[in-house]
Structure 1
Amino acid sequence: MNKLEWLNGLSLEDAQAELLRCCGSHRWADAMARARPFKDVPSVYAEAGWLWSQTGPEDWKEAISHHPRIGDVEKLRERFKASGAWSEQEQKGMEGATEDVVQALADGNREYEARFGFTFLICATGKSAREMLEHLRERMTNPPALELRIAAGEQAQITRLRLEKLLTSP
């Protein structure tokens, strides 16, 4: 049985749980689980994108709340058991980061959360710690409504990558 057949064959509750690993919005995961069966993998991605476009600020904040802070690799497996291994892979750019960059990310994360009320979110795959820090600093000047939309866009990218992992991992 391939992974698409597996996803299509799960119970509603089990499908929701698997999809929540990809995106922490319950509304999105429920809609995705109910959209099954999918005819092919591109249909999964298309539906995921369309359903995400139907969500709003509260859904985005819920999804963002399911992510660890960038650089907080110690907390990944502890708090985010369902998606911790994926988060750790996505934050590979933290490996080899200098102490000053790690500290600047920690400080920047706190400032960001104080300003916007949610965790800084970036699709970290392929980005170094220094690049993530640069993005964090650039985004600090955004108006709150714009920043939330940017974070929602980052979530969409992360969701796509995680769906790919869900449908291809053994």
Structure 2
Amino acid sequence: MRLSLQQFNELSPADATSHLLTCCTSTHWAQTLVNKRPFIDMPAMLSHSDDAWMQAQKDEQNLLEAFDGHPQIGNVDSLKEKYRNTQDSAAHEQSGANDAEDDVIEALAQGNQDYLDKFSFIFIVFATGKSAQQMLDLLLARLPNDRETELLNAATEQNKITRLRLQKLLSDA
């Protein structure tokens, strides 16, 4: 459901939070942003979102909560039920994986598992506009990193995804 910024500003806190959780599943981020309303325009909302995300990043649990709202790239269908609130966004964002060769998909699946085993959270990447091969290349480039570096990388990618989803949520964006 698309909303105007004015409609969003007028929602109850619970309804506004519910809509925001379709953009990012960090409750800290969503509640912080709800409390900053009303927003005068989309750039102001995005700025407040960035600030709320910077605050949320100070606690690893907020990051992990946000990351948990994503299906693994190339594995959207198996998690539709669990992540029903973000599945439409995720499916479109990851459409580059839909046309990939089987060997790339298999390598992506293995890379995702290796990443999860190493870092204890899934690989987060702003997938919009990227082919499966490009996502695989990014995953393989990030896999040698340490956990602290990957938390920061994933948090940065999460914010890109969140900003795009906010813009999709609001029809006048």
**Cα RMSD for the two superposed structures:** 1.2
> How much does 1:54 deviate?
1.1
| Structural mapping, 1:34-53, within 5 Å | 34-53=35-54
For each residue in 1:63-100, what CA deviation from the matched residue of structure 2 results, as whole angstroms up to 9, or x when unmatched?
A: 00100000012135322211111100100101210111
**Residue in 1 aligned with 2:74?**
71
**Residue in 2 aligned with 1:33?**
34
| Structural mapping, 1:1-170, within 5 Å | 3-55=4-56, 56=58, 57-168=60-171
Q: Return the TM-score normalized by structure 2.
A: 0.93
Contiguous gaps of at least 5 residues in structure 2: none
Q: Distance in 2 between matches of 1:79 and 1:85?
A: 13
2:74, 2:98 within 8 Å by CA — same for their partners in 1? no
Q: Distance in 2 between matches of 1:113 and 1:168?
A: 35
1:69, 1:120 within 8 Å by CA — same for their partners in 2? yes
User: Higher helix share goes to which structure?
Assistant: 1
Query: In the alignment, residue 27 of structure 1 is paired with which amino acid?
Result: H
- Runs of 4+ displaced beyond 2 Å: 75-79
Q: Return the TM-score normalized by structure 1.
A: 0.95
How many residue pairs get matched? 168
For each residue in 1:90-126, what CA deviation from the matched residue of structure 2 results, as whole angstroms up to 9, or x when unmatched?
A: 0010121011111111111111000000011000000
Q: Distance in 2 between matches of 1:152 and 1:71?
A: 20
SS at match of 2:65: helix
Q: Distance in 2 between matches of 1:101 and 1:74?
A: 18
Query: In the alignment, residue 103 of structure 1 is paired with which amino acid?
Result: E
